[in-house]
Amino acid sequence: MGCSRLLLSLAAVFDFALAITLLSLFASAYTSCFLTTLWQVGGTKGWNSDPHQRVYYYANYREPPPVPSVWDESLTKCSLCISVVTLVVWIARLSLQRGSLDVYGSLITNALYDVLLAALWTYSTTAQNSPDVSDPEHISLRPWHLERGCRDGGPRSRRACGVLSAAYGLSVVAV
């Protein structure tokens, strides 16, 4: 009984640390527009579509292609919301663990929480790793910061690259 309680406590501490870390990384990425910075650096170096080309489309009264989902700020918003949901689920689990006398109900509820969080984080990691095919001359099957690392981007994008790479790695762990 004591060993299982210790394992549950360690798992709860790990889940809490993961949720807080993901929340802080995505909050930092959201407020600092890191995706836009990485999109611009990758576009300048020819690794993905160039966001500056959108000006060309507007100047010539043409409809620009949609912003690739991997560079869209709504991806950061979505991942930030998922990390908030993860934290809320952690709080619900903690209160359920402390106050529940029904072992089977507690197990089923935790399993449902796990399925929900796995689905949400799977969506987030898939979206973070999605291709940029909006420019046929610069197709990128994965974001450049996940393929090339942060050194190739230069000093301008190093912080953004580090934060988003860490957020992607921890999102994979969260699945």
DSSP assignments along the chain, one per residue: -HHHHHHHHHHHHHHHHHHHHHHHHHHHHHHHTHHHHHHHHHHHHTSS--TTHHHHHHHTT-PPPPPPGGG-HHHHHHHHHHHHHHHHHHHHHHHHHHH---HHHHHHHHHHHHHHHHHHHHHHHHHHT--B-SSTTS-BSS-HHHHT-SGGG-GGGHHHHHHHHHHHHHHHHH-
Q: The pTM is what?
A: 0.87
Residue entry with tokens 């918003």: 77
How far is the C-alpha of 76 from the C-alpha of 128, rounded, in Å?
Answer: 9
Q: For 81-97, what is each residue's pLDDT tens digit?
A: 999 999 999 998 888 87
Q: Which pair of structure tokens corresponds to residue 14?
A: 């790990």
The pLDDT score that the predictor gives to residue 110 is 85
The mean of the pLDDT values for the chain is 89
Place 2 in a pLDDT band, splitting at 50, 70 and 90: low
Q: Which pair of structure tokens corresponds to residue 96?
A: 């359920």
Gyration radius (Cα) of the chain, Å: 20
